[in-house]
Amino acid sequence: MLLQMLPPADTAMLLIDHQDGTMSWVSSIDQQVMKANAIALARAAKALDMPLVLTSSLEDHAQGPFAKEFEEFVPDEFAARIKRTGVVNAWDDPAFAAAVAATGRRILIIAGVTNDVCTVYPTLSALALGYTVHVVADAGGSTNKIADDAALRQMELAGAVITSTNMILTGLAGNWNSPAGQAVLPAVASLIPN
């Protein structure tokens, strides 16, 4: 499947396990870049009034709390995040699966903090259920580059569109002079180096 402009009205955003402890395990991408990308995705979803589903796993263990920056930009979604109790594939958690289904959207943007664990399994589950999935590779990472490459390849072979944060943001904007384009601009600007 080729990259295409994304209609916000038909799309939902899923951000999986962007937790302080889990983020510290990633070495295939700069951790601050990864976190900034995930936050920019959340900001764009909020600005475009898109469904945004957040989930975490074992926040009281080594994975740690969900990154507090999300509370600043998407407080309602942060408060409503689905706190899993250890299930690896977020899709196997009934509350997460129900939250995704409740969006009514068939196009999903998925970013998990670890592409080789948090992202790959729910992506494969969503694809098996007929969803169109865009995986945001640089809003997650893995413990090493080989693991990251293997996960991204597996998801692409299964039918996911592998993309980046800027490609998603511009794909949602469509036209900088449109209402969607203007709404997404602050998220894009947050990623421009000073």
Q: pLDDT of 156-167, one tens digit each?
A: 999 999 999 999
Shortest CA distance to 190 belongs to which of 73, 98, 26? 73
Secondary element (H or E) of residue 58: none
> Which 8-state DSSP code applies to residue 88?
S
Q: What is the pLDDT of residue 1?
A: 44
* pTM, entire model: 0.94
Q: What is the pLDDT of residue 3?
A: 52
Q: Which residues is 163 bridged to in the sheet?
A: 136
The one catalytic residue in 97, 118, 169, 180 is 118
Q: What is the pLDDT of residue 2?
A: 47
Q: What is the pLDDT of residue 20?
A: 86
Does residue 96 have an active-site annotation? Answer: no
Shortest CA distance to 43 belongs to which of 188, 193, 192? 188
Quick: pLDDT tens for 104-155. Answer: 999 999 999 999 999 999 999 999 999 999 999 999 999 999 999 999 999 9
Lowest mean pLDDT among 21-30, 60-69, 70-79: 60-69
